[in-house]
């Protein structure tokens, strides 16, 4: 079973990289840009056919290593 | 005093701290991260560098290595732990120190000598410094921007758990003397029991007049008691 995990900085954590990307897009003429937050993306394949169990495994991966819960939020999606 | 320096793939200040400790008369051993037993140590040092190439997050992979379980066990039984630079990042990733180190506010790797103020000199790590002493120490990092939640920040202040703050030559602690965007100019913190110190500046680089200055010496003599 395959999942995607998206990791983003929490709302109140400064994201200087996102800011620079945003400024650059404005500089090259992109209009109507409101805001950008940069994050990380993982594709994870789990050897488990039961959805809930598989999700639990991925959630454990997030909490144990992939995400720093002090500053980051994450979303798990089945793909 | 017996010390152990933990070495990870990508550590690059391990030899510097090893040389510094021996110069200060510590009986030092270098310990590879795949070891599962630590020799009896009074002090464990997690050195600076780029463990595992800073993959995922600085210190994240090293924070899960085999020897870390032993370091956590030693820390919980009162052993002194010093994390410098990447070592500080690793300590936050293990949970031994709360908070985290974000990317520098200006997105640049900063390598320069900066002033820091000794806020708490009543600890095993800092007792040979004077209170509010200003020392000049090298920093060299890309992720040194200390961040934590408000509750922990208040606790750090109220319980005197901030070891060092960035300041200018006159001791002013403000935005101009903050090199990396760190919360309240924090450069180093203790855990609740003050047996663990994490700091971004490199005291091991400041032990010899010939290459820099000797402002880091008192940290080591403090530890020797």
Decide: A4 and A42 in contact? Cβ < 8 Å. Answer: yes
Q: How confident is the model at residue B110 (pLDDT cuts 50, 70, 90)?
A: very high
Secondary structure letter of residue A77 according to DSSP: E
Q: How confident is the model at residue B167 (pLDDT cuts 50, 70, 90)?
A: very high
Q: Residue B117 and residue B187: Cα distance in Å, rounded? A: 9
Q: How confident is the model at residue B143 (pLDDT cuts 50, 70, 90)?
A: very high
User: Distances in Å between the alpha carbon of B82 and those of A71, B18, B44, B207?
Assistant: 23, 13, 6, 16
Provide the domain limits for residue B189. 2-224
Model confidence over B50-68: pLDDT tens digits?
999 999 999 999 999 999 9
What would the mean pLDDT of B131-142 be, rounded to a whole number?
Answer: 97
SS3 of chain B? CEEEEEECCCECCHHHHHHHHHHCCCEEEEEECCCCCCCCCCEEEECCECHHHHCCCCCCCHHHCHHHHHHHHHHHCCCEEEEECHHHHHHHHHCCCCCEEECCCCCCCEEEEEEEEECCCCCCCCCCCCCCCEEEEEEEECCCEEECCHHHHHHHHHCCCEEEEEECCCCCCCHHHCCCCCHHHEEEEECCCCCEEEECCCHHHCCCCCCCCCCCHHHHHHHHC
Domain ranges within chain A, ordered by starting residue: 2-78
Q: Residue B156 and residue B190: Cα distance in Å, rounded? A: 8
Ramachandran sector of residue A29 (left: φ over 0; alpha: ψ -120 to 50; beta: rest): left
| Whether the predicted pLDDT of B12 surpasses 90 | yes
> What CATH number should be reported for the domain holding residue B89?
3.40.50.880
Q: Residue B78 and residue B31: Cα distance in Å, rounded? A: 19
pLDDT at A75: 97
What would the mean pLDDT of A7-30 be, rounded to a whole number?
Answer: 92
What would the mean pLDDT of B5-14 be, rounded to a whole number?
Answer: 97
| Whether the predicted pLDDT of B126 surpasses 90 | yes
Shortest Cα–Cα distance, B61 to chain A (Å): 8
Interface confidence, given as ipTM, is 0.80
Share of chain A above pLDDT 70, in %: 100
Write out the catalytic residue numbers of B. 85, 202, 204
Decide: B32 and B8 in contact? Cβ < 8 Å. Answer: no
Best of A68, A69, A72 to disrupt the B interface by mutation (most B CBs within 10 Å)?
A: A68
Residue closest to B186 by CA, chosen among B110, B103, B101, B113: B101
Strand partners, A15: none
What are the phi and psi torsion angles at A37 (to 5°)? -120, 130
| Whether the predicted pLDDT of B165 surpasses 90 | yes
Is B105–A16 a contact, with Cβ atoms under 8 angstroms apart?
Answer: yes
Q: How confident is the model at residue A10 (pLDDT cuts 50, 70, 90)?
A: very high
**Average pLDDT of chain B to the nearest whole number:** 97
Quick one: which H or E segment has residue A5? Answer: strand A2-9
Q: Residue B144 and residue B147: Cα distance in Å, rounded? A: 9
pLDDT at B29: 97
| Whether the predicted pLDDT of B190 surpasses 90 | yes
- Angle of the B66-76 helix axis to the B86-94 helix axis, nearest 10: 80
Q: Report how many domains make up chain B.
A: 1
Smallest CA–CA distance from A17 into chain B, residue: B107
pLDDT at A17: 87
Q: Residue B157 and residue B132: Cα distance in Å, rounded? A: 15
> Structure tokens of B71?
């370091």
pLDDT at A14: 85
Q: Name chain A contacts of B102, Cβ cutoff 8 Å.
A: 13-14, 71
Is A2-78 assigned to CATH 3.20.20.70?
A: no
Shortest Cα–Cα distance, B178 to chain A (Å): 16
Model confidence over B169-186: pLDDT tens digits?
999 999 999 999 999 999
Low-confidence winner among A12-26, A57-71, B92-106, B119-133 (lowest mean pLDDT): A12-26
Secondary structure letter of residue A46 according to DSSP: -
| Whether the predicted pLDDT of B149 surpasses 90 | yes
What would the mean pLDDT of B129-153 be, rounded to a whole number?
Answer: 97
């Amino acid at each position: 079973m395959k999942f995607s995990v998206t990791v983003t900085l929490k709302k109140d954590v400064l994201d200087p990289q996102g800011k620079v990307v945003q400024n650059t897009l404005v500089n090259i003429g992109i209009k109507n840009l409101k805001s950008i937050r940069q994050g990380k993306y993982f594709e994870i394949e789990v050897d488990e056919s039961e959805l809930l169990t598989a999700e639990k495994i991925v959630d454990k991966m997030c909490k144990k290593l992939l995400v720093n819960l002090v500053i980051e939020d994450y979303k798990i999606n089945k793909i | 005093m017996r010390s152990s320096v933990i070495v990870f793939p990508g550590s690059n200040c391990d030899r510097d701290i090893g040389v510094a400790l021996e110069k200060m008369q510590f009986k030092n051993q270098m310990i590879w991260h795949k070891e599962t037993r630590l020799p009896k140590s009074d002090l464990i040092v997690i050195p600076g560098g780029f463990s595992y190439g800073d993959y995922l997050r600085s210190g994240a992979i090293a924070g899960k290595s085999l020897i870390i379980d032993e370091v956590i066990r030693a820390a919980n039984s009162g052993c002194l732990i010093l994390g410098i630079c990447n070592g500080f990042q690793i300590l936050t990733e293990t949970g031994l120190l709360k908070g985290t180190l974000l990317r520098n506010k200006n997105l640049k790797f900063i390598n320069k000598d900066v002033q820091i103020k000794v806020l708490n000199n009543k600890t095993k790590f800092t007792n040979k410094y004077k209170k509010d002493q200003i020392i000049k120490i090298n920093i060299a990092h890309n992720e040194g921007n200390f961040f934590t939640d408000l509750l922990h920040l208040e606790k750090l202040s109220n319980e005197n758990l901030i070891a060092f703050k960035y300041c200018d030559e006159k001791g002013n602690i403000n935005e101009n003397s903050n090199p990396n965007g760190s919360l309240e100019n924090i450069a180093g913190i203790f855990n609740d029991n003050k047996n663990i110190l994490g700091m971004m500046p490199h005291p091991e680089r400041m032990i010899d007049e010939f290459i820099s200055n000797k402002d880091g010496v008192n940290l080591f003599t403090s530890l020797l008691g």
